[in-house]
Chain A
Amino acid sequence: KAGVTQTPRYLIKTRGQQVTLSCSPISGHRSVSWYQQTPGQGLQFLFEYFSETQRNKGNFPGRFSGRQFSNSRSEMNVSTLELGDSALYLCASSLASGRGGYTFGSGTRLTVV
C-alpha cells in the first residue's frame, strides 16, 4: 500500500513569505501529526489532527497552523517565515493515536533565505 506522501520534497522561501506543506496519510489512517526536525532541537511536535480536529498542539508560535480535510489529508502553513524556520518537516499517520506506531513520510526540507 502507498506510504505517507509529503509534498513538496524541497522548498526555498524568502524571509517574510508564507508556505504550505501537504501530507497524504496512508489510506484509512485518520490521525496525522506534524514534526519539525532541526539539528539542535531534534524532532519537535507541532500538532496532531484526527477527523479534521486538532487534538494536540506543541509549543510553537501561532505562525504555525494546520488543518485536516475530510479525506484525512493534512496541510500545515507557516506564515511570516523566519530564518529559524529552516528545517525538515515530517508528517506521520496512524490508525489511532498513541498505542500504535506511526508511519512517517519522507519530509519536506524547507530553507528560508
Chain B
Amino acid sequence: ILNVEQSPQSLHVQEGDSTNFTCSFPSSNFYALHWYRWETAKSPEALFVMTLNGDEKKKGRISATLNTKEGYSYLYIKGSQPEDSATYLCAFPFGNAGGTSYGKLTFGQGTILTVHP
C-alpha cells in the first residue's frame, strides 16, 4: 500500500504567526507532488504542482519545498491570516500499470489550519 502522510493533523496559530506542515510520500518512482487548499464549503484549490527535487515554489505568503530523494515536501505560510484557515492537502499521482497515465491522485488526510485573529 502506497501512503501519503501529512502532519500535523491540525494546527491552531495566531494571526501573524508563520507555520509549516509536512507531507511524506513514497520516494521511488516519483512523478509529481500536488498541494491543494480546501476551504469550508468551497472546492479544493490547486496551490502547487512540484516535479523537481529541490524545487521551491511560492504564491504570495505561501511557499513549498520538495525533497524527492527522502520523500517529503514542506508547505510554509508566512504571517498567517484568518483567511488562510483551511485544510491543506498534498496528493501524489500514482501511475497505472503501463506507466502512461498518472491521473490517480492519492491524498493525504490533510492538515487543518485555524488562524485566530
B104 close to A56 (CB less than 8 A): yes
Query: Which residue of the partner chain, among A31, A43, A97, contacts B89 with CB atoms under 8 Å?
Result: A43
A42 close to B110 (CB less than 8 A): yes
Q: Give bound CA distance, A31 to B102, whole Å.
A: 11
Contacts of A58 in B (CB 8 A): 104
- Contacts A42-B110, A98-B32, A100-B49 given; indicate if A33 touches B43 (C-beta within 8 A): no
- Please count how many residues in chain A sit with their CB below 8 Å of the partner chain's CB atoms: 27
Most buried by B among A31, A56, A98, A105: A98
Chain B residues within CB distance 8 Å of chain A: 31-32, 34, 36, 42-46, 48-49, 51, 89, 91, 93, 95-96, 101-110
Extra pairs beyond A43-B44, A92-B105 (18, CB < 8 Å):
A31-B103, A33-B103, A35-B107, A43-B107, A45-B105, A55-B96, A56-B96, A90-B43, A90-B44, A98-B32, A98-B102, A100-B49, A102-B46, A103-B46, A104-B45, A106-B42, A106-B43, A107-B43
- 26 residue pairs of the A-B complex, CB under 8 angstroms, read A4-B43, A42-B108, A42-B109, A43-B91, A48-B103, A50-B103, A55-B96, A55-B103, A92-B105, A94-B103, A97-B101, A97-B103, A98-B32, A98-B95, A98-B103, A99-B49, A99-B51, A101-B46, A101-B49, A102-B46, A102-B105, A103-B46, A104-B45, A106-B42, A106-B43, A107-B43
